[in-house]
Structure 1
Amino acid sequence: MAESLPLEMLTYILSFLPLPDQKEASLVNRAWYYAAQNAFREANVRYNIPVSSASLPGIKNLGRRGISHVSLTNLDGSPASHQVLQFIAYHLGPNLQSLCLSECCPTEASFVALILGCPALRILDLSGCNSLFTSGTLLSQPEIAQRVQQALSRLQELNLGGLRDLVDLSFNRLSSCAPHLQHLSLAFCQLTFEQGPTHGSISPSGSSPSQLSFNNLLKFVRERAGRLQSLNLSGTDLPPQALQALSQVAGLRLQKLSLHNCRDLSTEAVAALCRQQSGLTSLDLSGCSELADEALLAVCRGLRRLQHLGLRKLQRLTDAGCTALGALRELQSLDMGECCLVSGQELAQALSSVHGAPPPMTSLILAYCSSLKVSRLSLPHQDGCPRIPQGSSLLMLQSLQELDLTACSKLTDASLAKVLQFPQLRQLSLSLLPSLTDKGLLAVARGCPSLEHLTLSHCNLISNEGWAQAASSWPRLQHLNLSSCSWLTEQTLDAIGQMCKQLRMLDVAMCPGINMAAVRRFQVQLPQVTCIQSRFVGGADLIFTL
């Protein structure tokens, strides 16, 4: 039946599968292979291309496949880099939609030539490309700027994060070449702020020729308010009055805003943001150390459409603030890592939504929440039956795919067995749990059979016997971190090699019971493993990268 389906329909069906399942489906027959290849491309797979002459044949091959997402590494002003850029512009440029040059050092001329060969670009990442902006002459010639504007007419997302030499003039030249820009990142750029005659107000002065000013950014936002959807101003030390001025721009309807590590933000500024930008679906306030419970209450009252919320390192946040999270009915991901005063009870009550269906949450990060107790995250089954419980329990979050409990030191085998029952969970971190033993490992294996990424570093009570029993439960495992697990030996590697055939990355660094001979035998047993981290194994300091 499936063989008679048109290729387009089969591609559409396979696009709903996770990447590992798509790879398995590609082995069925020729038709499924081509459908899976199309699905890979539609899944926005990014190809990382090292800049060297050895990459030229591969670039030609990728061009024939019509790939559309590329990231370059080791790019500089050398002749080899110039040749690679020429190949990319010629072979990949017509179909290229996403281009990442992060931390590269291209010359201005080679960058312009590359952009002119990529007329379909929608995403451009120039974060850390300081060489392009050092001279201040990028796009200073009107005829070149006009040609670049034609090439970037479809650009929707621009990342200028971490550019220490970015100033108003170069920002204005580049942004004017992207009239349809919807997403802008200036994360960790050196924004400057001027106070107006009224204390705390923002001065309406014009652009600066020698610095990147908030006033110029505010002017840009006002001009693009009807189209702009997301801003990343993380690490810019945005003051409260600047956030309020940004929130009040007429016609601005942001969907995503990242303010990570803006330490001076106040509760009042966040409350004003929530009133003015009530359509936000993603907000990152991680590291905004002045914020506490009142700020989270304002977020939950004002941003009812929120799907992604970052609260990492809000060390003044307590259980009282967590009570309001139940109001976020569409929440999909929550990061509360390093919120050391959160114990879990109010969090469980809010997320389990006793008075309605739980939110469709897929990612929950609670790493380094040192006060967290799983006994407060769940209620025991009253009849002993293994069913989804009613009441305050994270077990209600049956759509969860990622869970991070790193360094939640109060967790035990018994408490983990009560909570870790997520059949769809793909990624789990239990590193730095001093009480985790083989009993807890087996409970995790039974409750989370779909794991693809598992991190268990510094879990020193796990033994070979536990892994011998648990490994068979994880046939889909691809990434496994067992670094600094002092009781593991080559027997664990044998069990993993026999049961985890899809493994791609293994970290056994600083495992004193595993020697280099065992690592080499494992590599022969599973040749598809592309990276084995084995630092200080058997006294060696070595990384196998194939």
Structure 2
Amino acid sequence: MRGADLINPALPDELLDDVIRRVGAGPGGGKRDLDACALVCRRWRRLERASRRSARLAASGERADEVLRLVAERFPALADVSVDERLTAAGVVGAVPRSRRPRQARPVHRTSPFRRRRRLPVASSAVHIAPFPLDQPAIDDGSERSCLTDVGLAHLARGCRGLEKLSLIWCSAISSTGLVRIAENCKNLTSLELQACYIGDPGLIAIGEGCKLLKNLNMRFVEGTTDEGLIGLVKSCGQSLVSLSVATCVWLTDASLSAVGSHCPNLEILSVESDRIRDDGVISIAKGCRQLKKLKLQCIGAGDEALDAIGLFCSLLESLSLNNFERFTDRSLSSIAKGCKNLTDLVLNDCQLLTDSSLEFVARNCKKLAQLKINGCQNMETAALEHIGRWCPGLLELSLIFCPRIQDSAFLEIGRGCSLLRTLYLVDCSRISDGALCHIAQGCKNLTELSIRRGYEIGDKALISVAENCKSLRELTLQFCERVSDAGLFAIAENCSLHKLNLCGCTLITDSGLTAIARGCPDLVFLDISVLRVVGDIALAEIGEGCPKLKEIALSHCPEVTDVGLGHLVRGCLQVESCQMVYCRQITSAGVATIISGCSRLKKLLVEEWKVSERTRRRAGPVLSFLCTGL
């Protein structure tokens, strides 16, 4: 019977609540489905609010504390909350930027309480809430913008006592007082992230004393505290800590790391970035935290003695990232290789004193190595990679950035020995040419992602070999590979169904090459054709017809593209969410309006400000990003 309610009378609250929770556990948090559930009736909305688990809140704006109070009252089951002062109304779903709101707002009809309640976004497993009054539209009256304070954090602590994860990002007005309230009320807190917050020692000490279940602590740009705060925290809850990250905190010294080593025996993940750390702090970590599995260090003051200790005591280590080390040599990396035989991921960034001998030790001892990234280690030559190819058959990802001494012959061994390789990144490797890529293509037929930036010696021969041998290739980046032409793209289009393609700066590419891609790669979702001087409207028309799944496109610095081409593009690519088109001299305000009107899912459009008409600005203000030309 039309209008009859056949569900509510039959389902008790407990069963309906279980249904809503299962909907929220779907892909992407089941956001759209939860939206629909909350709009069925008041009962469903009440149950959905009571079961909501996560929220992402903007912390800047008028009455931010009041908004957090209302959120805590309406959604008491929140367990995962992220508060970010960098977010504005423009960064929140469904909101309008303050700077572009009309001066005069439409009146709110007080006769309908339901209409007032709907001003708060509802029904999302990951809520996005703008910090404006819930019953009034925000008016840009020129007043100074406020932000979240300890008062709002206290409201959250009292209203959501089951809080498990809390992230405070750039909340500049939060102090120790707010963290003390969290510690007093949220005993189940397991994860805390503090980024660019001015937190004092009492706040960290209180978290340690009140949150005995804390497992994950992430601090970045945290000012106002000293070693005393972190030491007090780990003394109280160090037994439960599993993950700790402390980055760019000027107060961090060896004293803190010594306390971590003494009180955190179960620590498995550690990331430390500090110029004040010396050998003693790292040695204390190695001796006390023998369960470490993932370690990231950026400690200019540490050297061989510190890394020797890691190799001696951290035998369970699986992932190691060493960044900007100026003092350690082959000696300590060989110690790590001999002691950490379970190593699967290794990152070496700007480690100037390392030579080929280092990677020989790693290759011979760490045969489980699956991911290797070498960035700016200028003393490493061809022999380093040859050792990896001979001894590490399980290698899945290889990244070489600014390695000017490595030559093509190194990839002969990689192709022979690393048949499972799936991802290859080559950036600023000036001596690598077509021969290297041919070796890889012939031996690594499972390659799915190939990224080459500024490969001035890479041309069509390499691309044709990759196309003929690597049929599973899905992501291809060829930035400023000036020898690649349409012939290479013809081979790729014929043999590989790409999902992502970046051709930025490949100046020999024409409409013919992009036409082949459009016809051969219908599943393309990302395309960058920036700085292609001769590509024009024909290519855009073919892309519009052949790539209906396209979501992101960049066509900046394309002087031959016009408004006509954009019209053809948007008629077929209805899924576009992001578009960049600066310095396209033949695109006018009409073309910008075409993109706005034709792409209903558009979230970001980067364009020169003078090309945007007032009508387009009013219609699509939140999605517009303007190139800064005043610098």
TM-score by length of 2: 0.63
Cα separation, 2, equivalents of 1:424 and 1:13 = 32
Instruction: Return closer, same or farther for 1:163/1:100 CA change in 2, 3 Å cut-off.
Output: closer
- CA change 1:246–1:107 in 2 (3 A) is same
Q: Secondary structure at the match of 2:438?
A: coil
Q: Distance in 2 between matches of 1:345 and 1:523?
A: 50
Question: Which segments of 5 or more consecutive residues in structure 1 lack a partner in the other structure?
Answer: 1-5, 195-201
Structure-2 separation of matches of 1:62 and 1:505: 34
Q: Which residue of 2 aligns with 1:407?
A: 480
Q: Does 1:518 align with 2:582?
A: no
Partners of 2:81 and 2:495 lie apart in 1 by 33
Give the distance between the partners of 2:299 and 2:564, measured in 1 at CA.
46
Q: Is the aligned partner of 1:149 residue 2:158?
A: no
Corresponding residue for residue 441 of structure 1: 514
Q: CA deviation at 1:151?
A: 4.8
Q: Does the Cα contact within 8 Å between 1:364 and 1:403 map onto a contact in 2?
A: no
RMSD, matched Cα? 4.9
- One-letter amino acid matched to 2:177: A
The amino acid that maps onto 2:228 is L
Structure showing greater Rg: 2
Q: Give the drift of 1:427.
A: 4.3
Please report how far the alpha carbon of residue 185 of structure 1 lies from its aligned counterpart in structure 2 after TM superposition.
Answer: 2.7
What is the Cα deviation at residue 532 of structure 1? 1.0
**Which residue in 1 is equivalent to 2:537?**
464
CA drift at 1:534:
0.9
1:341–1:217: structure 2 CA closer, same or farther, 3 Å change rule? closer
User: Residue 94 of structure 1 aligns with which residue?
Assistant: 162
Amino acid at match of 1:358: L
- Name the counterpart of 1:112: 180
Alpha-carbon distance in structure 2 between the residues aligned to 1:132 and 1:193: 20
Alignment of 1:97-496 (within 5 A): 97=165, 99-101=167-169, 104=172, 106-129=174-197, 131-133=198-200, 137-139=201-203, 145=205, 148-149=207-208, 151-163=210-222, 167-176=226-235, 177-189=237-249, 214-226=279-291, 228-234=292-298, 236-248=300-312, 250=313, 253-326=316-389, 327-342=391-406, 346-347=410-411, 350=414, 352=415, 354=416, 357-359=419-421, 361=422, 363-374=423-434, 376-378=436-438, 393=466, 402-418=475-491, 426-445=499-518, 448-496=521-569
**1:86: Cα distance to partner?**
3.9
Work out whether residues 51 and 81 of structure 1, in 8 Å CA contact, stay in contact via their aligned partners in 2. no
Farther-moved stretch of structure 1 (272-281 vs 258-267): 258-267
Give the SS at the match of 2:424. strand
Alpha-carbon offset, residue 500 of structure 1:
2.4
Deviation of residue 404 (structure 1)? Answer: 4.0
Q: Which residue identity lines up with residue 545 of structure 1 in the other structure?
A: P
State the alpha-carbon separation in 1 of the partners of residues 278 and 428 from structure 2: 36
TM-aligned CA deviation for residue 520 of structure 1: 2.7
Q: Which has the higher mean CA deviation after the structures are superposed, 210-219 or 101-110? A: 210-219
Q: Comparing 395-404 with 173-182, which one deviates more in the overlay?
A: 395-404
Q: Work out the percentage of aligned pairs sharing the same amino acid.
A: 20
Query: Structure 1's 221 and 434: CA in aligned 2 closer, same or farther, altered over 3 A?
Result: same
- The C-alpha deviation readout for 1:307-334, integer Å capped at 9, x for no partner, is 3332233344444433344444444443
User: Any idea what the Cα deviations from partners look like across 1:483-512, whole Å, max 9, x if unmatched?
Assistant: 223322223332332222222221112222
Residue 187 of structure 1 contacts residue 236 of structure 1 at CA under 8 Å; is this kept in 2? no
Equivalent residue letter for 1:219: S
Aligned to 1:72: 84
Q: Tell me, in whole angstroms, the C-alpha distance in 2 between the residues paired with 1:451 and 1:338.
A: 30
Q: Structure 2: how far apart are the matches of 1:364 and 1:489?
A: 35
Contact persistence 2:499–2:524 (CA under 8 A): yes
Q: Which runs of 5+ in 2 are unaligned?
A: 1-17, 38-43, 88-144, 263-274, 449-461, 624-631
Deviation at 1:138, TM superposition (A): 3.4
Q: Give distance in 2, aligned partners of 1:65 and 1:400.
A: 44
Output the CA distance in 1 between the equivalents of 2:428 and 2:576.
Answer: 27
Matched residue SS, 1:469? helix
Provide the residue aligned with 2:61 in structure 1.
Answer: 52
The DSSP-based 3-state class of the residue aligned with 2:349 is: coil
CA, structure 1 residues 373+394, in 2 after alignment: closer, same or farther (shift >3 Å)? farther
Q: Does the residue aligned with 1:233 lie in a helix, a strand or coil? A: strand
| CA-to-aligned-CA distance 1:264-303 (integer Å, 9 cap, x gap) | 4322222222222222232221232333443333333333
Q: Is the 8 A contact 1:497 1:525 kept in 2?
A: yes
Deviation readout 1:421-453 (Å, 9 max, x if unpaired)? 886755443323333333443454456544433
> What secondary structure does 2:354 align onto?
coil
Do the aligned residues in 1 keep the contact of 2:56 with 2:81 (CA within 8 Å)?
yes
Measured at CA, do residues 410 and 53 of structure 1 come closer, stay the same or move farther in structure 2, by a change above 3 Å?
Answer: same
Alpha-carbon contact 2:195-2:220 (below 8 Å) kept:
yes
Alpha-carbon spacing, 1:439–1:398, altered in 2? closer, same or farther (3 Å):
same
**1:265–1:380 Cα change, 3 Å:** closer
How many angstroms apart in 1 are the aligned matches of 2:174 and 2:538? 53
Work out which of the residue numbers 57, 76, 82 in structure 1 matches 2:150: 82
Task: Check the 8 A contact 1:319/1:343 in 2, yes or no.
Answer: yes
For residues 528 and 222 of structure 1, what CA distance do their matches in structure 2 show? 53
Q: Distance in 2 between matches of 1:271 and 1:521?
A: 60
Using the alignment, how far apart are the partners of 1:400 and 1:115 within structure 2? 50
Q: Distance in 1 between matches of 2:80 and 2:506?
A: 42
Change (3 A) 1:400 1:313: farther
Q: Secondary structure at 2:244's aligned position in 1?
A: strand
User: Partner of 1:138: helix, strand, or coil?
Assistant: helix
The TM-score, its normalising length taken from structure 1, stands at 0.72
Give the secondary-structure state (helix, strand or coil) at the position aligned to 1:545. helix
- Against the structure 1 CA distance between its residues 536 and 230, is the aligned structure 2 distance closer, same or farther, given a 3 Å change threshold? same
Q: Judging changes above 3 Å, is the alpha-carbon distance between structure 1 residues 500 and 510 closer, same or farther for their aligned structure 2 residues?
A: same
Give aligned pairs, total. Answer: 494
Please tell me whether the aligned partners of residues 126 and 159 of structure 1 are also in contact (alpha carbons under 8 angstroms): yes
CA distance in 2, matches of 1:253, 1:440: 50
Could you tell me which residue of structure 2 aligns to residue 197 of structure 1?
A: none
CA distance in 2, matches of 1:61, 1:402: 46
Distance in structure 2 (CA, Å) of the matches to 1:325 and 1:472 = 45
Structure 1 CA distance for aligned equivalents of residues 488 and 74 of structure 2: 49
